[in-house]
């Protein structure tokens, strides 16, 4: 019987236990550093089983990634289904908050993502990354495009750079919420809500003083 089938047929609770253990391990130690021994111990299953389910380490990673991607897509879909009748800056603000909620509900998924970006020993890394990025970039790109058409952003705005900048801030913001060491001191001084508002203000009006 196909090995993946075996896993799919497991009781839901067990499936989740296994996937959680695997995600935990990969998120914590990266691909190469992840130990299947620790994984199975955390999941409470026999070592052989995990190979029956996923074939090999790459298979485990693929399953974990796919599962996580699924969750990300759901989150994005939820945003997209939001009414888009508001101003772009309101939308972006909402996107920030949705992202924040996601990383707080699924911190391990986000850590997995950061590993995917920096590590070089991940099996299908480039493929996975590009599948992920197309998802995200397309999403933010659409918002920008719509705003441009509505005249909500200045007509001479360099779109590629704006998109990159948006992504960068978003990414860094989420990263900081998952890895507190990045925000040693001042994360606690203001609420996330205020911080997001601050970002939006800068993105909207820029840093230069208004011309008289």
**Footprint of a copy of itself (CB under 8 A):** 28-30, 32-33, 89, 111, 114-115, 117-121, 125-126, 129-130, 133-134, 151-155, 157-158, 160-162, 164-165, 167-169, 171-173, 175-176, 179, 181-182, 184, 186, 189-190, 195, 198-199, 201-210
Q: 68-97 mask for DNA (x: CB under 7 A)?
A: ------------------------------
Cβ atoms of residues 7 and 53 within 8 Å:
yes
Pairwise CA distance, residues 89 & 91, whole Å = 5
Least distance from C-beta 55 to a copy of itself, angstroms? 13
Pairwise CA distance, residues 97 & 103, whole Å = 10
Instruction: Choose among a copy of itself, DNA, none what residue 57 binds, the Cβ cut-off being 5 to 8 Å by kind.
Output: DNA
Least distance from C-beta 121 to a copy of itself, angstroms? 6
- For DNA, give the closer residue by CB, 94 or 125: 125
Dihedral sign from CA coordinates of 96, 102, 104, 108: negative
Least distance from C-beta 124 to DNA, angstroms? 14
Q: Select from 17, 20, 28, 38 the one that contacts DNA (CB under 7 A).
A: 38
Instruction: Choose among a copy of itself, DNA, none what residue 45 binds, the Cβ cut-off being 5 to 8 Å by kind.
Output: DNA
| Residue 93: C-alpha distances to residues 42, 131, 202 (Å) | 38, 25, 12
Distance of CA 150 to the CA centre of its chain: 28
Site for DNA in 47-66 (CB under 7 A): 47-49, 51-53, 55-58
Angle between helices 192-205 and 159-178 (to 10 degrees): 170
Least distance from C-beta 32 to a copy of itself, angstroms? 4
Least distance from C-beta 12 to a copy of itself, angstroms? 25
| Number of residues located near DNA, criterion CB under 7 A | 24
The answer to the question of residue 10 lying near DNA (CB under 7 A) is yes
Distance of CA 98 to the CA centre of its chain: 11
Least distance from C-beta 108 to DNA, angstroms? 17
Pairwise CA distance, residues 121 & 107, whole Å = 22
User: Where does residue 82 fall: left (phi above 0), alpha (psi -120 to 50 degrees), or beta otherwise?
Assistant: beta
């Amino acid at each position: 019987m196909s090995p993946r089938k075996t896993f799919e047929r497991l009781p839901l609770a067990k499936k989740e236990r296994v996937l959680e253990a695997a995600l935990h391990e990969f998120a914590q130690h990266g691909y190469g550093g992840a130990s299947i021994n620790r994984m199975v111990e955390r999941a409470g299953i026999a070592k052989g089983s995990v190979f029956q389910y996923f074939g090999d380490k790459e298979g485990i990673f693929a399953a974990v990634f796919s599962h996580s991607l699924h969750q990300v897509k759901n989150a994005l879909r939820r945003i997209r289904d939001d009414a888009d009748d508001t101003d772009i800056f309101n939308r972006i603000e909402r996107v920030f908050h949705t992202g924040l909620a996601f990383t707080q509900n699924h911190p391990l998924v986000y850590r997995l993502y950061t590993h995917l970006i920096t590590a070089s020993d991940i099996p299908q890394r480039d493929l996975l990354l590009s599948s992920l990025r197309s998802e995200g970039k397309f999403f933010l790109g659409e918002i920008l495009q719509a705003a441009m058409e509505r005249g909500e952003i200045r007509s001479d705005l360099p779109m590629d750079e704006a998109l990159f900048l948006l992504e960068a801030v978003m990414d860094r913001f989420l990263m900081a919420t998952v890895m507190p060491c990045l925000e040693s001191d001042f994360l606690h001084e203001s609420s996330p809500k205020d911080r997001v508002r601050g970002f939006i203000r800068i993105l909207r009006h820029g840093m230069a003083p208004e011309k008289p």
